[in-house]
Structure 1
C-alpha cells in the first residue's frame, strides 16, 4: 500500500471570547495535528490570554490575522494590522499565514519578526473559482514561501472538481487548496487525497471559520482522512439535491467495516453541468458514482455504454469508471423489488407506480420481469404512457387513474412529492385501504404519504429498504465483487441500523 506524506488536519480557533476559544482547543487538541489561531476573530481577549491559549494547545499552530476582504474580521488599516502582527512575534508559531496580495514591505516585516516560522502565502476568493488556477499559482510563487494556499468559492461542483485536478497535478508544489461553500464541501475531504499539505476541519458544526468546513469528528471517523493513501478509491453520490441523503454516513461505515481503501462523498451536480462534471470526475480518478434525481435519464446519452437493466429502462443510477470508459447501470429496479418482495411476492399482482422518471421506469421494468401487472400514474399522461411502454404496462394521468376505478395490490411512490415538506395530497388521494405502500423517498422520519397509508391500514415500506438493496448492488459493481466475497448484506444492515 503506497502512502505519501499525509495531509495535516488543522482546526481553526475562532472563539468570540477567551472561554469559547479555549473550549475549541480543549475539545480537539488530542486529535488535531495543528491549530490555526485566528487573532482577527477573537474578541476582548488580552495578550496574556492569547499566550494562555497557545500554551493550552500542545500542538504546532498557524498564526493568522486575516483582513476582511479575504474573509477575516480585522477591520483596521494595514498599518494597524501589521502592528498587531509584530506585537504577536513572541508567540513562536510554526507557521504564519499572510495574504499573497500584501505589499512587499508588509511581507518583509513579517519575515523579519517571525524568522523561525514557515510562511504560508494565501489567496482567498469568496466570490468565485477563477478559470486559470495554474496562472494564479505562478503569480504567487514569485514570492518565496514554504506553502501556498488557494481557497476559492465553488459556484458549482465543476469548480470543485477543477480545483482537485489542479491540486493533483501540482501535488509537489507545496499547495494547500480547497473550495468553499456547499458545492465545494467534498473538496475538503478529497484534497487530502489530491496532495493538499493541510486540510481544515472545524471543532464542531456551529464553529466554522469558512463555509463548507466539516467537523473534525466527521473528518476522522466518517471520512477517515488520516488513513487515505494514494491508492484510495473514490466513490460518491451526484444529484440535485444531495444534502438529505445519508449515503455518505452509511457507505463510509460499510467501507470501514469491510476494510476497503476507499471513501464516499456527496457531490451536488446540476443537469446543465453534468457532461463536464463527468469528464472532470473521470480525469480526477473517481471510480464509481451513485446517481439520484434529476440526472438518471440525462445520463443515458452521456455514458459510453449502458449495461444490464439500464438498457431496458432508459435510466442510470450507477456509474462505473473503468479503463477510460464510463459504464452506466441501474440497480433501482432490483433494489425496490427485492425490498418489496420481503413483504409480498409480486408475480401475478397488480402494481401501480406513481411517477415516470428514472426510478419509476427502472422499477416498472423489473416488476414486469417478475411477472407483475404494471400501471404508471403521472401528472403528465404522455410521460406515463412512454414509461409504461418500456415495461409493457399501462399509463395514466392522475385523473385518468381515478376515473378507471382500478384496484391494486401495492403502490410504489417514485416522485419528489413529500420531500422537504412538499405537498403530497395528490398522491394520498390514490391510496387504497389495506394495501401495501412503498415510498422510495429516503427520510429519517416517515413521510406524510407513509403516515396517511398507515392510517388507512396499509403495510408501509420506506425508502431506506430500497436504498440498502440497490447500494449493495452498486458496491458489487464498483468493487467487481461478482463472486460475493464481501459480506455487504451484513455491513449495510449494521450501517443503516445505526442511523439516528
Structure 2
C-alpha cells in the first residue's frame, strides 16, 4: 500500500512539488504518492488533523499557512521556532512534528557557487518576510561575517532582527536606498521578495548601478528562471543564482525527514526545469 504525502497551501494549483517528489519516490522505488491539497485558511486545523486520522507520512506547508500551522502541531524543531515558520510536517506515530528546511535548502544552493568562506562575506538581504527569516537564520547559524536586511519599511526589517539572538555587529537593518548606495561593499545580494516574479517580470527589487562584478546576486524566484534582476546582474559580470536550487534542496531535505533516504537531487532539478521550460547555468 502506498504511503501518502502532500502539500498544504492556498492556492496550490501551480505547485511543482508533486511532480518533483513523485519522480524521487519512483526513482528510489518508494511506495508513496505526493499530492497537493488546496486548504483554505479556515480549514487548516482540520487539514492538519487529517494527517493524523488518514495516517499520512507527512506534508509540506506553503503560503499562507507556514506560521499558523505551528499552532496545531505537537512539537516544533528549534530551527523552525527560530525562523517562526514550518514548511515540513513529519508524522511519528500519532505525533506531528514541524521543521523548516527553507533556510538550509537555500544555503546548500548558495554554497555551490560560493568561493571562500561565509565568515568572510558581507550579505545584503532584500525583503523582511518569511523567506528572509529562513535565509537570515541559515546564514547567521553558519557564521556569516555581516548580514544587512533591507526593506522598504525599515521597521519590518528591525522586527525580523529582533527575533534573532546574535551580536549587534553581525545583523543590521537598513533602508533599501542605503543598501543601493553602498552596494559595492556586499559580496552577496539576495532577493527574498516576490518582486520580478511572473507575471510582473519587468520589475526589480533594487537598483544594481553600484554592484561589484565580484558579487554573487541571488534571487529566490524561479519563475521566470532568470528574472530581470538576475539578467541585469549578469550583464554587470556578477555570478547569478536563481531559486531552483533552494526549491529542490528544501524539498529534498523534507524527503529525507519522511523516508530516511536521500533523493537524487539532479533528477529532482531536471524535473522542475522541464516544467519551467528552460535552463541556464549559474556563473
> How high is the TM-score relative to the length of structure 1?
0.49
1:27-58 Cα shifts (integer Å, max 9, x gaps): xxxxxxxxxxxxxxxxxxxxxxxxxxxxxxxx
| Residue matched to 1:456 | 236
Q: Does the residue aligned with 2:190 lie in a helix, a strand or coil?
A: strand
1:330 matched to 2:110? The reply is no
1:387-420 Cα shifts (integer Å, max 9, x gaps): 1231631123324544666721111221222222
1:394 matched to 2:164? The reply is no
Verify the 8 A CA contact 2:58 2:258 in the aligned structure 1.
yes
1:429 matched to 2:207? The reply is yes
Whole-Å separation in 2 of the counterparts to 1:406 and 1:454: 15
Displacement after TM superposition at 1:262 (Å): 0.5
- Alpha-carbon spacing, 1:279–1:465, altered in 2? closer, same or farther (3 Å): same
Verify the 8 A CA contact 1:454 1:460 in the aligned structure 2.
yes
Whole-Å separation in 1 of the counterparts to 2:104 and 2:228: 25
Displacement after TM superposition at 1:268 (Å): 2.5
| Residue matched to 2:279 | none
Whole-Å separation in 2 of the counterparts to 1:297 and 1:487: 27
> Which of 442, 447, 451 is equivalent to 2:227?
447
1:411 matched to 2:189? The reply is yes
> Which of 243, 247, 251 is equivalent to 2:21?
251
> Which of 245, 254, 266 is equivalent to 2:36?
266
Q: Does the residue aligned with 2:6 lie in a helix, a strand or coil?
A: strand
Verify the 8 A CA contact 2:201 2:224 in the aligned structure 1.
no
Displacement after TM superposition at 1:474 (Å): 0.7
RMSD, aligned α-carbons: 2.3
Displacement after TM superposition at 1:252 (Å): 0.4
Whole-Å separation in 2 of the counterparts to 1:349 and 1:391: 19
- Alpha-carbon spacing, 1:399–1:333, altered in 2? closer, same or farther (3 Å): same
Q: Does the residue aligned with 1:235 lie in a helix, a strand or coil?
A: strand
Displacement after TM superposition at 1:281 (Å): 3.4
- Alpha-carbon spacing, 1:456–1:282, altered in 2? closer, same or farther (3 Å): farther
Taking the TM superposition and a 5 Å limit, the aligned residue runs for 1:379-390 are: 379-389=152-162, 390=164
1:497 matched to 2:270? The reply is yes
- Alpha-carbon spacing, 1:235–1:471, altered in 2? closer, same or farther (3 Å): same
| Residue matched to 1:14 | none
> Which of 125, 128, 138 is equivalent to 1:356?
128
1:466 matched to 2:246? The reply is yes
| Residue matched to 2:12 | 242
Verify the 8 A CA contact 1:242 1:266 in the aligned structure 2.
yes
1:171-224 Cα shifts (integer Å, max 9, x gaps): xxxxxxxxxxxxxxxxxxxxxxxxxxxxxxxxxxxxxxxxxxxxxxxxxxxxxx
Taking the TM superposition and a 5 Å limit, the aligned residue runs for 1:178-193 are: none
Q: Does the residue aligned with 1:336 lie in a helix, a strand or coil?
A: helix
> Which of 366, 372, 385 is equivalent to 2:138?
366
* Total equivalences in the alignment: 263
> How high is the TM-score relative to the length of structure 2?
0.83
Relative contact order (alpha carbons < 8 A, sep ≥ 6): 1 or 2 greater? 2
